[in-house]
Structure 1
Amino acid sequence: MRVPSPLVRGVVGSWVVAASALVTSVVPQSSWIASIPLRDSLAGRMTGLTFMVFGLGLLVWAWLEVGREVLAGVRHRLIRMTVLWSLPLLLAPPLFSRDAWSYAAQGALVANGFDPYTVGPAALSGRVVEAVDPMWMNTPAPYGPIPLAYGGLAAHVTDNPYFLMLAHRGLALLGIVLIAWAVPKIAVACRVDPSVATWLVVANPILITHGLGAAHNDVLMLGLACSAFAVALTGRWGTAAVIAGTAAAVKAPGGLVVIAIAAVMSPLAGRALKRLASLAIAGVVSVLTLVTVGELTGIGSGWLNALDVPGLVMSPLSIANLIGLGTSGVLDWLGAEDAAQQALVIIRLLGILAALGLIAVLGLRSHIHAAARAVGVAMLAVVLLGPTAHDWYFLWCLPFLAVARPGRRLMTALVGVSMILTIAAPLNSSLRGAVIPILVTTSLVLVVVGTLLGRLRTLQPAKAPRSPQPAAPDAAMSAVAAAPPPGPHPQQS
């Protein structure tokens, strides 16, 4: 029997995921989706989870097959393929996470005159808070003024949580468009095949499912950060710094792209004072932009006081959490209860300080050729050493590492992590305490991941294009400046 093409496999997988979301995703009780019969029984929910993992496996399998061909030099219409894979998820309930319902409720807070940085969704009542995770009902919003002001405008139009969720998915879609525009341009400047970078980032199932499907505002942050880097490579570092501040006005880590902007401003290595001045200038412009956005939207900057809210989740993906919880457990077992309570706080603080120290070193020492890698490593440090980490946080570093001339090991690591975090996505907080679904879903994930892992061996990083010849940084920047205006790259459309 002939196996369908990767394009068809990906489309089918995406439709299966979208249909399964009607059974597995958390939705407001007042929604018609909540009355679907399969949602009322364990057998029905397990059927939905099984199809969800199957659909994700199909999507990842298709992506890996396309990647093998792209790395071998075969031309693919990657943007068109990404659009077709994404379409089924546009109207689906949020995948894997309930954050989009929190976004809807926080926008409603703004629309009703509440300060989202001092009160949580519990200040509201009605259907807009029905699907909000109870953990976040009484917590202030840890997001910047842009998504909150946008959510407030949407909530003035409708109080339907489903339509509000779709409005925030629109922001995620805008972020993907910005990423699709910026990544090929950054790849050209870094002398990486833009088709490979586009496949690894834009067509990546983790961006399609976690980014668009879950409607996380991290995607808009990332799109703005990538755009800031691409604009800086054209020599307009002032504009780039403003865009970086706008990215930080969505979520704070977006501002880390100033590391790359400073590298463009002072590309000569070994001149610490010049680099420090560049960082200071780009940083000041970005911060002023951040404050200005807060004032213009009327939201303010109170979100800076709520940045520790995500840390309420003890994520095992954070190295600081793992060490802290392990140390706390040992101390508690030894009877040192007071020390056990302090251990996690201290180790988390040390993790943050270590991340900040690494960011400072990267900002001062990274030259223009390593600017993308520096931002990627800085983002990764914030994720792994910060107080919490979610699987979609991997998106923060993906575009920058993908254009940093990845060798075989880094390429395999990026592909492997993308594959695993996509297929394991159904093991999210909505399964909290559900022993049987967790065990069954884990088994399904292991089977699908194990089946696909062997295909990683066929992936080889493509060689950098021979034309243009390796040149000085100025030549690379000139190539980017001469690139066509925003739109699909010729090789992908």
Structure 2
Amino acid sequence: MMRTSWLPPAGLTWRNSPRVGLGLILLATLLTVAVGVLGPSAVTLTLGPRASLLPPYYLPSGTVPTPGEWVVSGVLYGAVIIGGVGLSIAVRAVRDGWTPTVWRVFTFGVVLNVATLMVPPLTSADVLMYAAYGRLQALGMNPYDITPAAVFRSQFDPVLRWTERPWQDTPSVYGPIMSWVQLLANRFGGLNMHDIVFWLQLSAFIPFLVTSAVVVWLAHGDEQLKGRAALLTIANPLLIWAITAGAHNEGWSVMFAMLGIMLMRKTSIGAGVMMGLAGACKLSIGLYGLAMVWGYRRQPRKLVGLLVGTALSMGLLYGLFAPGALFAALRNTSYVSVGSWAQPFYTVLTYFLPVPAATGVLGVVSYAGTLTIAWMLSRVLPWHAVAGTPDGVAPDRDPITIAVRTALLLSVGWLTTSLYTLSWYDLIAWGPWCWSARHGSTGCSSGAGCCCPCPTSRAAAWTTARA
């Protein structure tokens, strides 16, 4: 077997060179880490004094001048652009026939993520609020009823004092599993915000790692597709930036949901239990639940098993252990993010309508838009059987294939039209897209029925050029 080269073959350019693509991805990560190493700034969180040798690490105060806002912001914007270009080049190399060694790409991604974990979180202070909600629980308080500000404004607290606006007066909107993760981080970190943040950073990376592994599993049997899946998940600089650099907990719900999809051929009840666990992290992952229901729509017994499994896990977690969490999580549906399409309309509507009525109107438009975009994409997105589909079973009859494809359609529709969406929410679309957006053509010898030139012919051209 010919050894895979990291160099572009003769006759091809840097635009599809794996070495160039991976080099730019590495450079993007190094720039991000460099900003974090400089310590607290306009984009790097202030974590207070450290109480141990645990990460995150950064230069002591006074070692270098505090970098200006425009400098660090410019570097981070540059890192995102460089990383995006590098990812595009690496994916193009796969499209053009490069078959990477999957474990090498996966390990490369793990190293990039671990390096990012070594510095303080950047741009978003959400992780400080995770720590605050865990601290409230450690104090014996209910984070769904009491806000961090209600405590630190009346008494000194070594953890809550480091939280930042604007969420100090907002009770938790996360499910019970995330609340337990936040409490556990406080148990490990003690009374030191710096140490608590490290455990929260680690807890954000681990489910992202598992999710990436599941996505690669969905491509087993196709080495080229597995390499593409690794590139678009664990080694994806945009996801490293959105999830790991910001220490966001989005990976938990996606991890359980992807594990649920993976179980759909073996046990519908087990798939439902996993889906319920996902919903006990964040309710927005219910899009995957709808996709799984659609995948079982022709198998009523398995559909019942899915619903029973979901009801069991979600019912216990929300109903028995955290009855107030469900109502608290539903509050998130009434928020409108500053960068969303709805913000200008929300501003205008609130001049004429009460806030609940304005968000209600926009919510109806949002849900209608989600379904419309999902339907439009369904007309052009090709069908591909997920690995393991039984012989003779068409892709549109396999529950996992249907669920993955539907999850992509609904996720893209929701991310496009949601009233409240942020960059790290995009993880719910990247996972299924890694598989669903594979390349091929209706004239491909493999019969894949895709929308791009056939990978078989491209791989032949790649091999010929190298020869």
- What's the TM-score, normalizing by structure 1? 0.69
Q: Could you report, residue by residue, the CA deviation over 1:395-443 in whole angstroms, capped at 9, with x for unpaired residues?
A: 212212332245699xxxxxxxxxxxxxxxxxxxxxxxxxxxxxxxxxx
Task: Tell me if the contact between 1:72 and 1:462 (Cα under 8 Å) persists in the aligned partners.
Answer: no
Identical-residue share of aligned pairs (%): 20
Residue identity in the other structure for 1:402: C
Residue identity in the other structure for 1:79: F
Stretch moving more, 90-99 or 253-262:
253-262
Q: Which residue is equivalent to 1:113?
A: 140
2:337 is the alignment partner of 1:315: yes
Q: Could you report, residue by residue, the CA deviation over 1:53-76 in whole angstroms, capped at 9, with x for unpaired residues?
A: 333344333323322212222132
2:215 is the alignment partner of 1:183: yes
Q: Which residue is equivalent to 1:470?
A: none
CA pair 213-463 structure 1, distance change in 2 beyond 3 A: farther
Residue of 355, 360, 373 corresponding to 1:346: 360
Q: Which residue is equivalent to 2:257?
A: 225
CA pair 71-190 structure 1, distance change in 2 beyond 3 A: closer
Residue of 80, 83, 87 corresponding to 2:114: 87
Q: Which residue is equivalent to 2:178?
A: 147
CA pair 102-17 structure 1, distance change in 2 beyond 3 A: same
Q: Which residue is equivalent to 1:55?
A: 79
RMSD: 3.8
Task: Tell me if the contact between 1:27 and 1:33 (Cα under 8 Å) persists in the aligned partners.
Answer: no
Q: Which residue is equivalent to 2:35?
A: 20
CA pair 75-190 structure 1, distance change in 2 beyond 3 A: closer
Q: Could you report, residue by residue, the CA deviation over 1:83-109 in whole angstroms, capped at 9, with x for unpaired residues?
A: 232222112111221111111111111
Q: Which residue is equivalent to 1:476?
A: none
Task: Tell me if the contact between 1:244 and 1:258 (Cα under 8 Å) persists in the aligned partners.
Answer: yes
Task: Give 1:81 deviation, angstroms.
Answer: 1.8
Task: Give 1:190 deviation, angstroms.
Answer: 11
State how far apart, in whole Å, the 2-side matches of 1:463 and 1:82 are.
27
SS in 2 for 1:397: helix
Q: Which residue is equivalent to 1:161?
A: 193
Q: Which has the higher contact order (CA 8 A, sep 6+)?
A: 1
CA pair 288-464 structure 1, distance change in 2 beyond 3 A: farther
Task: Tell me if the contact between 1:324 and 1:347 (Cα under 8 Å) persists in the aligned partners.
Answer: no
Residue identity in the other structure for 1:221: S
Q: Could you report, residue by residue, the CA deviation over 1:170-214 in whole angstroms, capped at 9, with x for unpaired residues?
A: 222221222222112324599992322332233222221111111
CA pair 342-128 structure 1, distance change in 2 beyond 3 A: closer
SS in 2 for 1:85: helix
CA pair 186-319 structure 1, distance change in 2 beyond 3 A: farther
SS in 2 for 1:50: helix
Give ranges in structure 1 of 5+ residues lacking alignment.
Answer: 269-273, 410-459, 467-493
Residue of 266, 272, 283 corresponding to 2:307: 283
Task: Tell me if the contact between 1:375 and 1:400 (Cα under 8 Å) persists in the aligned partners.
Answer: yes
Residue identity in the other structure for 1:401: W
Residue identity in the other structure for 2:141: F
SS in 2 for 1:215: coil
CA pair 35-203 structure 1, distance change in 2 beyond 3 A: closer
Residue identity in the other structure for 1:346: G
Residue identity in the other structure for 2:209: V
Matches within 5 A, 1:264-343: 264-266=295-297, 268=298, 279=303, 281-294=305-318, 298=321, 300-310=322-332, 314-325=336-347, 327-328=348-349, 337-339=351-353
State how far apart, in whole Å, the 2-side matches of 1:307 and 1:465 are.
47
Stretch moving more, 178-187 or 252-261:
252-261
State how far apart, in whole Å, the 2-side matches of 1:12 and 1:265 are.
44
Q: Could you report, residue by residue, the CA deviation over 1:209-246 in whole angstroms, capped at 9, with x for unpaired residues?
A: 111111111112112211211121x4222211111111
Q: Which residue is equivalent to 2:164?
A: 133
Q: Could you report, residue by residue, the CA deviation over 1:138-197 in whole angstroms, capped at 9, with x for unpaired residues?
A: 211111111211221232331211221221222222212222221123245999923223
Q: Which residue is equivalent to 2:445?
A: none
Q: Which residue is equivalent to 1:258?
A: 289
Task: Give 1:311 deviation, angstroms.
Answer: 5.3
Task: Tell me if the contact between 1:317 and 1:384 (Cα under 8 Å) persists in the aligned partners.
Answer: no
Task: Give 1:279 deviation, angstroms.
Answer: 4.5
CA pair 395-319 structure 1, distance change in 2 beyond 3 A: same
Task: Tell me if the contact between 1:117 and 1:141 (Cα under 8 Å) persists in the aligned partners.
Answer: yes
SS in 2 for 1:403: helix
CA pair 211-242 structure 1, distance change in 2 beyond 3 A: same
CA pair 463-213 structure 1, distance change in 2 beyond 3 A: farther
Residue identity in the other structure for 2:276: G
Task: Give 1:251 deviation, angstroms.
Answer: 0.9
Task: Tell me if the contact between 1:324 and 1:343 (Cα under 8 Å) persists in the aligned partners.
Answer: no
How many residue pairs were aligned?
394
Q: Could you report, residue by residue, the CA deviation over 1:245-300 in whole angstroms, capped at 9, with x for unpaired residues?
A: 1111111122332334334545x4xxxxx55x75454233213202323477x4x1
CA pair 384-9 structure 1, distance change in 2 beyond 3 A: closer
Stretch moving more, 77-86 or 279-288:
279-288
Task: Tell me if the contact between 2:279 and 2:285 (Cα under 8 Å) persists in the aligned partners.
Answer: yes
Q: Which residue is equivalent to 1:381?
A: 413
Residue identity in the other structure for 2:84: V
Stretch moving more, 161-170 or 98-107:
161-170
Task: Tell me if the contact between 1:26 and 1:131 (Cα under 8 Å) persists in the aligned partners.
Answer: no
- What's the TM-score, normalizing by structure 2? 0.73
Task: Tell me if the contact between 2:144 and 2:172 (Cα under 8 Å) persists in the aligned partners.
Answer: yes
Which one has the bigger helix percentage? 1
State how far apart, in whole Å, the 2-side matches of 1:340 and 1:118 are.
24
Task: Give 1:308 deviation, angstroms.
Answer: 4.6
State how far apart, in whole Å, the 1-side matches of 2:291 and 2:212 are.
19
